[in-house]
Amino acid sequence: MEVLSAFQYSLIYNAFSFTFAAMAATTLFLWISRSQVAPKYKTAVTISGLVCAIAAYHYFRIFESFEGAYIFENGVVTATGVAFNDAYRYVDWLLTVPLLLIELVLVMGLSRDETVSKSLKLGFAAALMIVLGYPGEIADDNTTRAIWGTLSTIPFLYIVYELFAGLGAAIENQHPKVRSLLKKARLLTFASWGFYPIVYMAPFIGLEGPVAETVIQIGYTIADLVAKAVVGVLIYLIAVRKSAVESEIADERREAQEALPV
């Protein structure tokens, strides 16, 4: 394993610890705040917290694996020979990426049939995308990396299509007060996901050794923070606003009914 500079080591080390703290904090925030949304949106908030909890666990493991793989002593970083288990990322994504799409579907408050069908389709495509990406990630040569990366792009494009075409109509049907927030959540999901293929391709632009390692670790970490913690808080805000809007509408209806001549 390539040895990192003291700066690179500290940067990665502290980014892992930061991300564990941020993910665990977001989990707690979401689960504690769950009582403040209408029953209809509780599951969306529960799952947003779950995604951050799973990520917190994996960042804890990644941090420990990184600590086991390197020794930083007397200002010099040396490899211990113990492998740094990067597979934790893929194991995490296999669980969290389908759930991220499901939380987005759930907060829209569609009919049961639509919710089930969209969750299943998007969840399955997301899992397939992760599974196809992994063989490329661990490949030593760029050709194998390119082949699996390309295969993985097929379900990715399907997800993007579903998010914009499939969910597009459903978003237009939402109350004007939440429409723009939902569009932001969708855009942020898409934009943060766009980060992953860029990091995946780091070795193609000639980056290698410690620099590539640092770019990959920091890149994936930032993307995870946006896709899970920031999107999770956004899902919560949508749930809060939808709960308020729907309770207002229900109140107005009740008042209108009571005002009718008997």
Q: Which residues bind its own copies (CB under 8 A)?
A: 10, 13-14, 17-18, 21-22, 24-25, 28-29, 31-36, 39, 42-43, 46-47, 49-50, 53-54, 57-58, 61, 72-75, 81-83, 85, 87-88, 91-92, 94-95
Task: Give the residue among 254, 236, 215 at the shortest CA–CA distance from 4.
Answer: 215
Pick 125 or 130: Cβ nearer its own copies: 130
> In angstroms, how far is the first alpha carbon of the chain from the final one?
82
Q: How far is the CB of 260 from its own copies (least distance, A)?
A: 18
Helix axes 176-200, 231-259, angle to 10 degrees: 160
Element of type H or E holding 228: none
Pick 41 or 158: Cβ nearer its own copies: 41
Q: How many CB atoms lie within 10 A of CB 174?
A: 20
Pick 153 or 243: Cβ nearer its own copies: 243
Please provide the DSSP assignment of 29-65 as one string: HHHHHGGGS-HHHHHHHHHHHHHHHHHHHHHHHHHHH
Q: How far is the CB of 168 from its own copies (least distance, A)?
A: 26
DSSP category for residue 164: I
Q: How far is the CB of 8 from its own copies (least distance, A)?
A: 13
Pick 5 or 10: Cβ nearer its own copies: 10
Q: How many CB atoms lie within 10 A of CB 12?
A: 23
Q: How far is the CB of 6 from its own copies (least distance, A)?
A: 8
Let me know: does 4 contact 77? Beta carbons within 8 Å.
yes
Pick 16 or 196: Cβ nearer its own copies: 16
Q: How far is the CB of 151 from its own copies (least distance, A)?
A: 20
Q: How far is the CB of 46 from its own copies (least distance, A)?
A: 5
Pick 61 or 121: Cβ nearer its own copies: 61
Distance CA 141, CA 215 (A): 18
Pick 31 or 190: Cβ nearer its own copies: 31
Q: How far is the CB of 232 from its own copies (least distance, A)?
A: 14
What are the φ and ψ backbone dihedral angles of 239, each rounded to 5 degrees? -60, -40
Let me know: does 203 contact 142? Beta carbons within 8 Å.
yes
Helix axes 87-108, 39-69, angle to 10 degrees: 170
